[in-house]
Each structure stands twice: as structure tokens, then as C-alpha cells.
Amino acid sequence: MAGVHEPNVIDLVTYDSSSNEYKLIMVEERQWSEAPEQLAQLSEKINNYAMFVLDEGLLRAYPEIAGHPVCIQLDCAAPPSAEAQKLIDLASERLLGYGMRFTVNLLD
């Protein structure tokens, strides 16, 4: 799996039958740090995922997605740092305006 450090790669697309939505999952296996490059990579990855949906790249790749809601999910090994959480909150708010949810899932 590519991970947040490779912002131009879609890590995983899956269907969640419990929520009836398709999830675009990005994975951050590194610990959160105050390194500006990690936040920049996360920001770029979120933007690339959103554009993949909005430019209909997701629909072209997965035609069965038509009519289903989309969620972008960040899987991470540790809770996001305060700076990462600010970025996530802003992204969540903006994505809702486009009908997409953004969630964080802590990996065990």
C-alpha cells in the first residue's frame, strides 16, 4: 500500500455495505510529527482524492459507484497531531460541501 507519503496514489477503494458507501482509503503508517512535509503530503493526498471523485475518475474506474455516497477515510496508526487534526477538520468541512464525508480510522 502506498500511503500518505505518496500523494498521487489512491491507496484503496472499497465498498462498505453497512453504510452503503464507497470509501477511498488513505493510509498513514508513520507516527505524526510536526514535520511540515507530512502535513503537506496529507493535504495534497486529500486534495487528490477529492479531485479523483469530483473529476469523475472514480466513476470511470468504478462505474458501479454511480448513485452511492463517497467517504474519504484516513487510516492511521496513531491519533493525528493537533496540526494534522486542524487540517482534517478543515478538509471534512469542505468535503461535506461536495457531498463527501471524511473520517479517521485508528488502526490497531
Per-residue pLDDT at 1 exceeds 70: no
* Amino acid making up residue 79: P
- At residue 72, the 3 state secondary structure works out as strand
7-18 pLDDT, tens digit each: 999 999 999 999
**Residues 100, 72 contacting (CB under 8 angstroms):** yes
Q: 83-89: long-range contacts (C-beta < 8 A, 24 or more apart)? A: 83/34, 83/39, 84/32, 84/38, 84/39, 84/42, 87/39, 87/42, 87/43, 87/46
Pick from 103, 9, 82: nearest CA to 52: 9
Of residues 35 and 93, the one with the higher pLDDT is 93
Supply the pLDDT for residue 108: 79
69-95 pLDDT, tens digit each: 999 999 999 999 999 999 999 999 999
